[in-house]
Amino acid sequence: MSVKKNNFITCPRILILLLVTFQLSSCSGQGKEKSANDPVEIVTKNPLIYKNNTTFPQIHTNLNGMVREFVRSMYQDTKGNYWFGTNGDGIIRYDGKLLEKMTIEGINKGMRVLSIIEDKAGNIWFGTCEGLIKYDGKKFTSFSKKEGLPGDDPEIWGLIIDKSGLMWIGSTAGISLFDGKKFTPFSLPDIKVEDSKSRLSDKLVFQFMEDKSGTMWFSTDGNGIFKYKNGKFTHLTSKNGLTDDNAGFFEDKKGNIWIGTLFGGVSKFDGTTFTNFTKDGIIKGEEAGGFLEDRKGNIWFTAENVGVYKYDGATFTLYTTKDGLTANLVLSMYEDNKGQLWFGTWQGLCIFDGEKFVNANIKETWTM
């Protein structure tokens, strides 16, 4: 399968310390052994209202009280099910009838879900702070060190399935390849940018991408971007085109590579030239990312404490709290099968109606 093109890819700087705190508190001290051979039970809970305390007052829906902080990953599978990966509240699913939190036996209820993808067989895969988790339509199966992933407690950030069906897994302990049977380690070149300082792990790959030419891209934790094809690596850094060594990427339908950074704004690479819209003064916000291309060909991305931008090929349009956002900080974006654009913030989920951002429960009443 081809992985959906609108994965959220960068973490706003204001959240870095919080994310590290969540990493230490939400996913530690479990002392468990998980086996791929032991399916785990789904326990469904469906109270009328969840009464969780939230970090901020919820202006937009928090999925019937099930989300205390924010939704950081969203996906709609080929069967039409909506999946929401939360920051500390595990996995939430809507199957067309029931909105439910999936409690997985042996897995911490405070699990953070960092990425969601689907394979050709219809299995849903989750990159989490509890390792790699698969849902086959009936049961969840978890994979960690015992099944071959590196590290004692691997936290999975990057997930992609390439055109050949091979899964690439980026964790705090390094990169693994999964062919459906076994995990094989994959190493990036041992070269570093000057004064390299990782935020979480110097082995971490936040994001993968396979571009139209078949080149694999790797977004590292502060060590620039690596490209890989035919056994050869290219290292992109602030010395040869990037505006910052903390960078994520996205390829649009025309083959342009959009690059969002932690300290250098947004650039577009056409294969030859880097154009930086932030330094050129066309857009605001030095920390930007979270690219999405909608079915109309518009490019969307976020800029911390500035808002959300839409680029229609000629003009950048900025949307802010004046247009319905709860705050000018968006943490996740997704386009569903209806063409609706979802946005996750600290204060709930909203949907863009073509002109403004509205509470998601106005468009999708099941979100409550």
Give the per-residue pLDDT at 151: 86
Q: How many CA atoms are closer than 13 Å to the CA of 121, on its beta-carbon side?
A: 8
186 part of a folded domain: yes
Count how many domains the chain has: 1
6 part of a folded domain: no
Name the β-bridge partners of 135.
124, 140
pLDDT by residue (tens digit) across 18-50? 343 333 334 543 333 334 334 433 333 444 445
* Number of CB atoms found within 10 A of residue 368's CB: 16
1 part of a folded domain: no
Name the β-bridge partners of 31.
none
4 part of a folded domain: no
Give the per-residue pLDDT at 138: 93
2 part of a folded domain: no
125 part of a folded domain: yes
34 part of a folded domain: no
Strands lying side by side in the sheet with 174-178: 156-161, 167-171, 174-178, 183-186
Domain that holds residue 168: 13-29+39-367
Assign residue 202 the CATH number of its domain.
2.130.10.10
314 part of a folded domain: yes
pLDDT by residue (tens digit) across 66-108? 999 999 999 999 999 999 999 999 999 999 999 999 988 878 7
